[in-house]
Chains A and B, each alone.
Chain A
Amino acid sequence: MSIRYVLGRLLFFFVVVWAGITLIFFLPRLAPGRDPVRERLGMMAAMGGMNAENVERLAQAYEAKFGLDLPLWQQYLNYMSDIARFNLGYSLAKFPTRVIDIIGPALPWTISLLTVATVLAFLLGSLLGGLIAWDGAPPILRFLLPPLFTFSAIPYYLLGLILIYLFAFKLKWFPLTGGSQILTMPSVSFSYLLELIYHSILPALSIVLASIGFWALSMRGMMITVEGEDYVTLAEAKGLPSGRVFLWYAMRNALLPQTTALALSLGTILSGSLLVEIMFGYPGIGSALFIAITGFDYFVIYGIVFMIVVTIALATLILDLIYPLLDPRIRYQEN
């Protein structure tokens, strides 16, 4: 892999994160004459209560950094330096909890659900799409196309809603909501793990079902192109077993544009699965975001949006660095 390529991708990572931070900072300030955070702090101070003193402190700290008397660029720099140190501020609704302490515990839930479901859907979908396009595959597979097609047109979380209704409400096979039983204490035990899996089957299923068709359809398109390539014809002419031709000549090449498509879809996939979390009350970032929105908890909202941007930028970076391992033409470029 050439140094230039790696540096280029790293630069892209930082530009994306920077763009995200900049949007989070400027977009709310575009609303004329309004600072929702200040309004919210004012409201909280007016309500008084136990935390009045803390709110006062919070408001003062906010004024010091983002006060109206400071020039915008000064506020922006303050904001950047805070974020660079992962200082995301305090929750307005659950003061004195820090934003990072709300995001931290939620993140593993989201990441595990998301990676398992996405990797599963990507691999299964690609394999299925490849087989559907392959002449040597059982024709039965072709009947899978219409249902897959239908599922792939449904947004993840609406499919989730249907699954909840069917399997949790009607059939009662799965819990209606949550990531684990409310009364169970987290522990490192087999039964707790089983419970976690039990609670995540439906959310994962909605993501997998809704996206497997997307990957199958796009893989089928790639395979139709690749199958016409001379190297596949030659591989067959060589008398290789058709499994070998399928996997190592056709699929292997069709996987390249498919991986690019994965990198491009990361944002959509993450957004979709955050909404799935909300439908299932699954205790990840999505639910945290939902709670923050209902409570006008701006620092938490901005913190979560920042985390989303970083996560996507990171995942894109990882895929960008994996891609050359799949494609020697990029690996050896400018070497």
Chain B
Amino acid sequence: MTVLRVENLRVHYHTKDGPVRAVENVSFALQRGERLGLVGESGSGKSTMVLSLLRMLKPPARIESGRVLLGDIDLLALTDAQMRAARFSQIALIPQGAMNSLNPVMRIKTQLMDTIRYHNRNNRLDQSEIMAHIHELLEAVGLDRSVANMYPHELSGGMKQRVCIAMGISLQPQVILADEPTSALDVVVQRQVMETLGQAQEEIGASLILVGHDMGLMAQFVNTIGVMYAGKLVEIGPVDAIFEEPLHPYTRLLIASLPSLEGKRIFRGIPGITPSLLTPPPGCAFHPRCPQVMEHCKAEAPVLQEVRPGRWVSCLLY
């Protein structure tokens, strides 16, 4: 069952020098319970995409066109008030900078309570029920309930990120967006926090979009991988199939550049310079770096197509 369907999403940053095309015609669908991993080099538009799903972008960013269908509601068509109500109750965010994502002057319980209380229409829950729910949530993410009374500076980075996970699942959303949720943590803690995130997501039956750089972590954790390049989704498909036989030349380089199967597979970068999103190369944006570039790649822009069952690629080779 499709939970989230993104169609032809385009997001531009309107700068003095012209529009920066951070997200260009991105389309994909997310099934119930599915985990989608989004990868791509820095500046390829992953965070912009994620924030636009929540309609959290501020000027100069603007969503130019497209649809974000949650069930059959287009989030982009909602009023501000409706969108506010949908946030976290339908579609939640686990932020990137865990170190600084919690309000330093507020107790953990107040920050969790805020999330619940302002979505608690008609006061279905009273104070003590909310408190009980908060304790449940904290225990669900492997924290002691005494954490509720603490301030963020009393917690370690991993604990803070667990609090953020608790916050993300507190309203049982259908979709959870996690933008590099563990990039600020050390390796051991990373794994533990990811496990917690996975369990929590499965428990409430939500779908997950995970943005990250660590391909090793992705390989173990997600079902589907989406590869972004210069604001476009260039390949999307099942994780095993993509690791076995990457189809897009960029994905191939990405996977080939991984050190080993066992080691920590962090994407190191590939030769050539990242394209400017202000003036992207004509035709296929990847052509200046592509080892398999053909003459017409420089003029004709490929579109995302299903080249094999379940395998979508945007490349003129196919």
**A and B: direct contact (Cβ < 8 Å)?**
yes
Query: Cα distance A135–B58 when bound, in Å?
Result: 9
Decide: B167 and A231 in contact? CB cutoff 8 A: no
Q: How far is the CA of A329 from the CA of B104 in the complex (A)?
A: 8
Look across to chain B and name the residue whose beta carbon is closest to the beta carbon of A227: B58
Which residues of chain A have a CB within 8 Å of any CB of chain B? 135, 229-231, 233-241, 244, 248-249, 252-253, 256, 326-329, 332
Verify if B221 is at the interface (C-beta below 8 Å from A): no
23 contacts between A and B (CB under 8 A): A135-B58, A229-B100, A231-B101, A231-B103, A234-B101, A234-B102, A234-B164, A235-B114, A237-B54, A237-B95, A238-B87, A238-B114, A238-B115, A238-B167, A239-B87, A240-B114, A241-B118, A244-B118, A328-B151, A329-B151, A329-B153, A332-B151, A332-B154
Q: A237-B93, A237-B95, A332-B154 are in contact. Are A230 and B118 (CB under 8 A)?
A: no
* Count of chain B residues near A, Cβ 8 A: 30
B103 partner, pick from A235, A239, A241, beta carbons under 8 A: A235
Partner of B105, one of A235, A238, A328: A328
Compute how far the CA of A237 lies from the CA of B50 in the bound complex, rounded to whole angstroms: 11
Q: How far is the CA of A229 from the CA of B97 in the complex (A)?
A: 9
CB distance from A94 to the nearest CB of B (A): 52
Cα(A328)–Cα(B119), bound, Å = 27
- Residues of chain B with a CB closer than 8 A to A244's CB: 114, 118
C-alpha spacing A76/B58, complex, angstroms: 64
Cross-chain contact A237 with B88 (CB below 8 angstroms): yes
Contact with A along B67-99 (1 / 0, CB 8 A): 000000000000000001111110011011100
Contact status of A332 and B153, CB under 8 A, knowing A235-B103, A253-B105, A326-B105: yes
CA distance A332 to B56 in the complex (A): 34
Q: Collect the chain B residues with CB atoms within 8 Å of residue A233's CB.
A: 56, 95, 101
CA distance in complex: A252, B88 (Å) = 23
B88:A239 contact, CB within 8 angstroms: yes
- Secondary structure type dominating chain B contacts: loop
- Chain A residues with Cβ below 8 Å from B88 are 237-239
Given A249-B103, A332-B153: A239 in contact with B85 (beta carbons within 8 A): yes
- Tell me, yes or no, whether B299 is within 8 Å of chain A by CB: no
| Docked-complex contact B153 and A239, CB < 8 angstroms | no
B317 interfacial contact with A, CB 8 Å: no
Q: Does B307 contact A (CB under 8 A)?
A: no
**CB 8 Å contact bits of B110-139 with A (1 = contact, 0 = none):** 000011001100000000000000000000
A227 to chain B, nearest CB (A): 9
Complexed CA–CA distance, A271 and B106 (Å): 36
Q: Which of A237, A241, A326 contacts B56 (CB 8 A)?
A: A237
Counting chain B CB atoms within 10 Å of each CB, the highest count among A229, A231, A241, A326 belongs to A231
* B56, A239: Cβ atoms closer than 8 Å: no
Interface 1/0 per residue, B133-166 and A, CB below 8 Å: 0000000000000000001011000000000100
Task: Find chain B residues with CB under 8 A from A252 CB.
Answer: 103, 105-106
Query: Closest CB-CB distance, A194 to chain B, in whole Å?
Result: 41
- Interface members, chain B 169-193 (any A CB < 8 Å): none
Kindly provide the distance from the CB of A88 to the nearest chain B CB, expressed in whole angstroms: 43
Contact indicator B105/A239 (Cβ below 8 Å):
no
Residues of B within 8 A of A249 (CB): 103, 106
Lowest 4 CB-CB distances: which A-B pairs, in order? A239-B87, A237-B93, A230-B101, A230-B97
Q: CA separation between A332 and B154, bound complex, in Å?
A: 9
Cα A241 to Cα B118 with chains together (Å): 8
A231 contacts which chain B residues (CB < 8 A)?
100-104
Contact check, A237 vs B118: say whether CB atoms are below 8 A apart.
Answer: no
Q: Which residues of B contact A230 (CB under 8 A)?
A: 95-97, 100-101
CB-defined contacts of B151 to chain A, threshold 8 Å? 328-329, 332
Our pick among B85, B95, B118, B154 for the contact of A234 (Cβ within 8 Å) is B95
Report A324 CB to chain B, min CB distance, Å: 11
CB within 8 Å of A: which of B192-235?
Answer: none
Is B93 touching A234 in the complex (CB atoms < 8 A)?
Answer: yes
Q: How far is the CA of A329 from the CA of B150 in the complex (A)?
A: 11
B260 to chain A, nearest CB (A): 34
The reply to whether B104 and A328 form a contact with Cβ atoms under 8 Å apart is yes
Residues of B within 8 A of A135 (CB): 58
Residues of A within 8 A of B56 (CB): 233, 236-237
Contact A239:B84 (CB < 8 A) given known A229-B100, A329-B151: yes
A327–B88 Cα distance when bound, in Å, is 28
Within 8 Å CB of A229, what residues of B? Answer: 100
Most buried by B among A230, A237, A256: A237
User: In chain B, what residue has the closest Cβ to A241?
Assistant: B118
Shortest CB-to-CB span from A252 to chain B, Å, is: 6
Closest to B86 in A: A239
* Most chain A CB neighbours (cut-off 10 Å) among B92, B97, B102, B105: B105
Alpha-carbon separation in the docked complex, A327 to B151 (Å): 10
A229 to B151, CA, bound (A): 17
Residue of B nearest to A229 (CB): B100
**CA distance in complex: A253, B85 (Å):** 25
A249 to B105, CA, bound (A): 8
